[in-house]
Amino acid sequence: MYVAAKGGEKAIRNAHELLARRRRGDRTLPAVTLEQIASQLTLAVDRVMAEGSLYDTALAALAIKQARGDLIEAIFLIRAFRTTLPRFGSARPLDTGAMLVRRRVSATFKDLPGGQLLGPTFDYTHRLLDTSLAEADAGGAEEGAPPPVAEPAPPMPRVTDLIGAEGLIEPSPRDDGAEPFDITRAPVSYPVDRATRLQTLARGDEGYLLALGYSTQRGYARSHPFVGEIRFGEVEVVLDIPELGFEVSIGEVEVTECQMVNQFKGSAQVPPQFTRGYGLVFGQCERKAMSMALVERALRWQELGEEPGAPAQDEEFVLSHCDNVQATGFVEHLKLPHYVDFQAELDLVRRMRAEIAAERKEAAE
């Protein structure tokens, strides 16, 4: 006698209970608060906001807590919430030249107006585990009144504007005032324009873009990059309200911008100019902004008359696989039952094996 397995509903309920228990961990310890996550795991929060395409530290912290620290799962939670939000319009292009700068470095000039500003960075830290952070009182000396924080530096000119004034680098495209394509609101078809490409990369997976950007440095679509500038800080978001006939500032966001200055292009008719690769990411995500700029530049091969052939230059390949929410869903869907299809394959393999066995038998007789 056989009774088919039932009880999917009960199994799911039990799994969710177990998950909740695991998430909470040791109940003799206090639960981690959203304030702690938003204040101490800031780079995780930044990544979730960037790839989740939603600027909200509280929700990102909540998502990280709910996802047990799995950032792709947290990004997924944010995306699924974001998609339910009404869309009021699009902001004016951010003016990163007016940024309240917390950090700004250029690899192309030793010194420049506004100076080099190291700011909060892992650069030049010795990567030695700091056991003082492991103490039970969670780094006693670090608690208490916050140390004074330096005021942000006043707006400083962008490096690309400085060399652009001499005509040495291709100009940024002008804002034509048209409503940009919105990849969350309309289906993408290839080839795409630059705005669509940048949007897709901005919410693309950091690890994926890192690997592709790295590949361009190793000769797969080499574009001879220099970090013209990386800057991180707060910029104002401004919205035009046509009904009111004026613009309003709706707040500030922290962003990281990377302007890559790449090998020049020119011809007998056109004087040579450096070219750009551009990266812009919510929060402090330098690795992502740099990778994005490298990949963005590689994808411009056609417009700049370069030879194609490297993976990072393949627009349809790069853009259609960079979203980690899509990627993780489809990879993980292999866990779902597929026994109906497997049965069909089993049957065919058995049939073909039987036919071969019969042929052999016939040949032997």
Partner 1 sequence: MSAPQVGSMPDISYNFAYLDEQTKRMIRRAILKAIAIPGYQVPFAAREMPMPYGWGTGGVQVTAAVLGPDDVLKVIDQGADDTTNAVAIRGFFEKTAKVATTTSTTEASIIQTRHRIPETRLRDDQILVYQVPIPEPLRFLEPRETETRQLHALSEYGLMHVKLYEDIARHGHIATTYAYPVEVAGRYVMDPSPIPKFDNPKMDDCPALQLFGAGREKRIYAIPPHTTVRSLDFEDHPFRVQRFARPCALCGATGVYLDEVLLDDRGGRMFVCSDTDYCTTRQEEGHRGEMSPPARDAQEDAA
How many whole angstroms separate alpha carbon 93 and alpha carbon 99? Answer: 13
- Interface residue with partner 1 among 144, 173, 187, 305 (CB under 8 A) is 187
Q: Which of 232, 304, 226 is nearest to 267 (CA)?
A: 304
CA angle in degrees (0–180, nearest 5) for 316-322-327: 110
Print burial letters for 146-160: b (CB count within 10 Å at least 16), e (below 16). Answer: eeeeeeebebbebbb
The structure tokens listed for 286 are: 């330098």
66 vs 172, beta carbon nearer partner 1: 66
Q: In what order do the strands lie in the sheet with 100-105?
A: 100-105, 226-241, 246-265, 273-282
- Given a contact cutoff of 8 angstroms between Cβ atoms, the answer to whether 112 and 106 are in contact is yes
Q: Which is nearer to partner 1, 90 or 271 (CB)?
A: 90
Span near partner 1 by CB under 8 A; candidates 72-80, 106-114, 260-268, 292-300: 72-80
One character per residue 123-162, x = contact with partner 1 (rule: CB under 8 A):
-----------------------x--x-------------
C-alpha separations of 68 from 32, 61, 203, 292, 323 in Å: 11, 11, 21, 27, 21
CB within 8 A of 363, min separation 6: which ones? none
Alpha helices in the chain (DSSP H): 8-24, 34-40, 42-52, 57-66, 71-82, 159-164, 194-202, 206-217, 286-299, 315-320, 324-332, 339-364
Query: Counting contacts by CB under 8 A, is residue 190 touching partner 1?
Result: yes
> Segment 4-63, which members bind partner 1 (CB under 8 A)?
4, 6-9, 11-12, 34-35, 38-39, 42, 45, 57-59, 61-62
178 lies in the binding site for partner 1 (CB under 8 A): no
Instruction: Compute the distance between CA of residue 14 and CA of residue 87 in angstroms, rounded to an integer.
Output: 37
Question: Least Å distance between CB 129 and partner 1?
Answer: 25
> Which one among 352, 354, 357, 358 touches partner 1, defined by CB under 8 A?
352
Give dist(CA 51, CA 248) in Å, integer. 26
Least Å distance between CB 155 and partner 1? 17
Task: Report the candidate in 220, 245, 250 with the shortest Cα–Cα distance to residue 235.
Answer: 250
Plot region of 248 (φ>0 → left; ψ -120 to 50 → alpha; else → beta): beta
Start-to-end C-alpha separation, the chain = 42
Whole-number minimum distance, CB 163 to partner 1, in Å?
30
- Supply the minimum distance, in Å, between the C-beta of residue 98 and partner 1: 18
- Which of 166, 332, 362, 365 is close enough to bind partner 1 by CB under 8 A? 332
Among 126, 218, 333, 361, binds partner 1 (CB under 8 A): 333
Binding residues for partner 1, total number by CB under 8 A: 65
Binding flag, residue 68, partner 1 (CB under 8 A): no
Check binding of 185 to partner 1 (CB under 8 A).
yes
Residues 73-132 contacting partner 1, CB under 8 A: 76, 79-84, 86, 102
Return the residue of 1, 145, 244, 270 that touches partner 1, per CB under 8 A: 1
Give the tokens for residue 282. Answer: 């919510």
Q: In terms of CB distance, is 20 or 348 closer to partner 1?
A: 348
Our finding on whether 193 is near partner 1 (CB under 8 A) is no
- Using CB under 8 A, which of the segments 123-131, 214-222, 298-306, 324-332 binds partner 1? 324-332
Q: Is 3 in the site for partner 1 (CB under 8 A)?
A: yes
Q: Which of 351, 357, 358, 360 binds partner 1 (CB under 8 A)?
A: 351
Give the footprint of partner 1 on this chain (CB under 8 A). 1-4, 6-9, 11-12, 34-35, 38-39, 42, 45, 57-59, 61-62, 76, 79-84, 86, 102, 146, 149, 184-191, 316, 320, 325-326, 328-333, 336-341, 343-348, 351-352, 355
